[in-house]
Amino acid sequence: MSMRVWAAAAVAGLSPVCLGDLLTQVDTFDTDTMNWDSSFGTSTTNWIATGGPGGDGDAFMKIGTNGASSGAGSRLGAWNQAQWQGDYIALGITAFQVDIAGFEGPGAELRMMFLSNLGSVFTTIESVSIPTDGVWRTYTFHIAGSDLVLLSGLQQYDEAFTDVGRVFIRHQPGDPAGFGGAPAYDGWIGVDNIRVIVPGTGVLPVIGCGLGVMARRRRSAA
């Protein structure tokens, strides 16, 4: 590990260690949408080469809709079943942090939803409000057991989150609802730097420990 990584960790008061894939994963969208797809045909995901939270040259993922009042392409959301599968309980993961900006349409109310590999569906109880002002901010989606509600399936949190199979980010205002509960949305948002956090560990997630390459962190906002 490079001295620069150790120095950055020391300044932050953290211990740089090599962690599991989920803990070191940061979706930066540098070259593509990194396996994020439209939410079962309800929206579109696109790679945008510049204008992310880092400014010129910083790529991000666009999630948008076709502006229709119903049907395919009308609801805002995206999902991933590649790099975010795993045992969240064993790793102590209790939150996601995501950099998001609203660019067009009314303010979005985003929730994260999780599908276990045995078919249980959970969503965050509280939504996160995204203003349409083009400003990038860092948002936290809390996903401890007390932060989620079971929408369908037979598993409880402690079982379902040992085998998460698919992760969703979607506009779903009002009371927590399942796949059919998201309304139409006319607009689009930008998403960047998707990562998980494990509070209270004093651990600094590092990508490629053998290479000494530290995950890029964008500026955070309260």
Whether 10 has a pLDDT exceeding 60, the answer reads no
Residue-wise DSSP of 68-113: -SSSTT-S-EEEE-STT-B-HHHHT--EEEEEEEEEESSPEEEEEE
- The answer to whether the CB of 129 falls within 8 A of the CB of 107 is yes
The domain limits of the chain are 30-200
pLDDT in tens, 62-121: 999 999 999 888 999 999 999 999 999 999 999 999 999 999 999 999 999 999 999 999
**Would you state the pLDDT for residue 62?**
98
Q: To the nearest 10°, the Cα dihedral for 49, 54, 57, 60? A: -10
- 30-200 to CATH, choices 2.60.120.260, 3.10.20.740, 1.10.150.120, 3.55.50.30: 2.60.120.260
- Mean pLDDT score of the chain, rounded to an integer? 85
Whether 214 has a pLDDT exceeding 70, the answer reads no
